[in-house]
Chains A and B, each alone.
Chain A
Amino acid sequence: MNNIVEVNNLTVSFIVRGGNLLLFERGGGMMNVVNDVSFNVREGETFGLAGETGSGKSVIAWALVGLMKPRSGSVRVLGKEIDFRKKTDVTYLRRNIGIVFQDPVGSLNPRLRVREIIREGLIAAKTFDRREYDKRIEEVVDLVGLRKSSLEAYPRELSGGEKQRVSLARAIAVPRKMVILDEPTSSLDVSVQAQVLNTLKELKAKLNLSYFFITHDINVMKYMSDSLGILYYGKLLEVGRTYDVVTNPKHPFTVRLMSNVPGLKRTPITETEDRLTEQGSSATGCVYSKVCPRVFEKCSNSPPMLNLGSDHHAACFLHENT
């Protein structure tokens, strides 16, 4: 199967100066918010990225649409290596990858009607002739399941679910290979979330789209993604087919993450003395070693990504001999 996006050893840094985070340029005190991350997104599949707040999930998304320049590593889109310094390459990147942001209110211009919001995306991409805009806009609005009448509405007149559909329509108005979905349903109620997730899955099949899906809701992640990566303080700790990672997690962090997922069978909370669940990262060696329940001497070194077979990889010394 073809890879739409191949990310190798991606590192994105922020300059930390007097407590301010500035976009990385050169020199200065640097913090790697995404550190040596590699993964592939296959054609027609969903790659899910899970991790805590601040683990760098969104930064990877921003880098994938050229909103942030990587410090090192490579990003290949449809086999073409992207040089982030070249404007034409960034344009190429954006023409193939669309994005839906988490906040449905903040990502739509409040002074434009839905039709104009979607048209802006078409104008920027220059793939359609101006006379075709209206036809295309009506097509995509239909695809994402919005009523035609919403085209003349302003964002504030729409509900949360409808707003996310507008964002989605804008992202797919230009035919793209992949859409980044950054927590697309986290601000929605469950029943609306269910409708949006269903639409996303339908579109994926209909348009042979790939998704790069970011969420902290593991139930949603399981339901949506074919492959899954677990990010912790900018490091990818585990990556593999979703079923394998969820049912047979290898990294101690993933094990704990999966055990905290509430299921439909009632699991009452138990109170246990458990200071170890505090977050924290270690500057040297394995990032998880500071709070890992299974830490041993070797963890003061940085673990490599170990291949555990059948596409399952984990960055943990515990699995070195398996």
Chain B
Amino acid sequence: MTGDARSELLKVRDLTLDYATVDARVRVLQNASLTINKGEIIGIVGESGSGKTTLGLAIIGLLDSPPAEIIDGSIDFEGKDLLKLTYAELSQVRGPGIGMVFQESLAALNPVYRTDTQLKESIDVLRKAQKLEFSDKAELDMMIQILNDLRLDRPEWVLKKYPHELSGGMRQRVSIAMAIVERPKLLILDEVTTGLDVYVQNRILRILKELNRRTGTAMIFITHDLLVASQICDRLYVMYAGRVMEEGITEHVMNTPAHPYTQKLFAAIPQGFVDAPPLPATKGEAPDLRKLPTGCKFNPRCPLAMEKCMKTEPPVFQTEQGSKVLCWLLEKQ
């Protein structure tokens, strides 16, 4: 699935972004690049603080400025650079162009509105954008249809419920419904399965995959759960300290991870039974973006760090399989 220019939907090029606060300026994204083709599902994975959500919010233009400051880069969506659009123009892209579903469904939904009112808000956006007219009946049918597509039982009942009356899995599907009712070309899903049981999680993944096949909606799946990402994504982007450390086809990233960080991430997932040996835990915690080391940002935690890694930050190297990796180990001798 290599990037053919015609099938490219979104291209983020070398996005560099700072959060500037009163007492500090922090680099949150450094030369982050990402491409998504029509109908593709990509995953952005990494630990907390790696810049996954910031990248997602930057794409849809929801970052507050200040503190966010874009230093460099471009975000091309269907030939337009989103960073150069005015607020009004960007509003046109949001919704029917790019939709987003947030992690906390309880916080993302308005607690004083029933499901039907929330969905109507989204339908109104679509109506205004495409100058459509619906009767109340058509609108209701549309809402029921979408909840049905998301495999919610008794959609009529769900429509009359407030967010707190629904279970986590149901709520998450209502927030997905709000996004997809506008028929976006690109859907950004930020940790949508986090905190749900394996069971409900599996179900939501299945629904998303089906939606992707049926409507061709491209998806950016942001998660810290590598296994979940690997189940649904065609390609993975592994982030650390605001950089894309490894990018490649899911099978390659999973089966033959090239970056020591990716290797560590997969090795940390418990697999054996109770008598299994201790997990190969990476020392240290997620990096403090205010005090990043020189050279490769992963070097303090990397078991294979060389002298070079301490001094110079590695450029992008390509593996034989076509993964792109930020690591000196891949430099050809």
Q: Quick one: given A197-B279, A264-B271, A272-B206, are A190 and B200 in contact (CB under 8 Å)?
A: no
Contact residues on B (Cβ < 8 Å of other chain), bracket: 35 or more
Contact of B265 among A191, A220, A277 (CB under 8 A): A191
Q: Which residue of chain B has the shortest Cβ distance to A246 in the bound complex?
A: B273
> Do A46 and B206 have beta carbons less than 8 Å apart?
no
Contact of B281 among A191, A216, A260, A272 (CB under 8 A): A191
Binary interface profile of A, 30-65, with partner B (CB < 8 Å = 1, else 0)?
000000000000000010000011100000000000
Residue with the highest number of chain A CB atoms closer than 10 Å, among B153, B198, B205, B231: B198
Interface residues of A in 179-233 (CB under 8 A from B): 186, 189-195, 197-198, 201-202, 216-220, 222-226
Q: In the bound complex, how far is the Cα of B265 from the Cα of A318, in angstroms?
A: 41
A266 located at the interface, meaning its Cβ lies under 8 Å from any Cβ of chain B in the complex: yes
> Do B269 and A219 have beta carbons less than 8 Å apart?
yes
Binary interface profile of B, 208-241, with partner A (CB < 8 Å = 1, else 0)?
0110010000000000101110111000000000
B-side contacts of A274, CB under 8 Å: 203, 206
A-side contacts of B306, CB under 8 Å: none
Chain A: residues with Cβ within 8 Å of the partner, total of 51
Q: In the bound complex, how far is the Cα of B213 from the Cα of A271, in angstroms?
A: 9
Least CB distance, A186 to chain B, in whole angstroms: 8
B-side contacts of A257, CB under 8 Å: 198-199
A263 located at the interface, meaning its Cβ lies under 8 Å from any Cβ of chain B in the complex: yes
Least CB distance, A252 to chain B, in whole angstroms: 13
A1 located at the interface, meaning its Cβ lies under 8 Å from any Cβ of chain B in the complex: no
Select the stretch in B26-34, B91-99, B126-134, B248-256 that faces chain A: B248-256
Interface residues of B in 133-154 (CB under 8 A from A): 151, 153
A-side contacts of B227, CB under 8 Å: 219, 262-264
Q: In the bound complex, how far is the Cα of B265 from the Cα of A190, in angstroms?
A: 7
Interface residues of A in 138-152 (CB under 8 A from B): none
B197 located at the interface, meaning its Cβ lies under 8 Å from any Cβ of chain A in the complex: yes
B-side contacts of A270, CB under 8 Å: 206, 209
Q: Which residues of B contact A (CB under 8 A)?
A: 47-48, 151, 153, 167-169, 195-203, 205-206, 209-210, 213, 224, 226-228, 230-232, 250-251, 254-255, 264-266, 268-274, 276, 278-282, 285-286
Q: Which residues of A contact B (CB under 8 A)?
A: 46, 52-54, 159-161, 186, 189-195, 197-198, 201-202, 216-220, 222-226, 242-243, 246, 256-257, 260-264, 266-272, 274-275, 277-279
Sorted from nearest, which 9 A-B pairs have the closest CB atoms? A223-B270, A262-B227, A194-B279, A194-B268, A189-B47, A271-B210, A194-B281, A260-B202, A195-B281
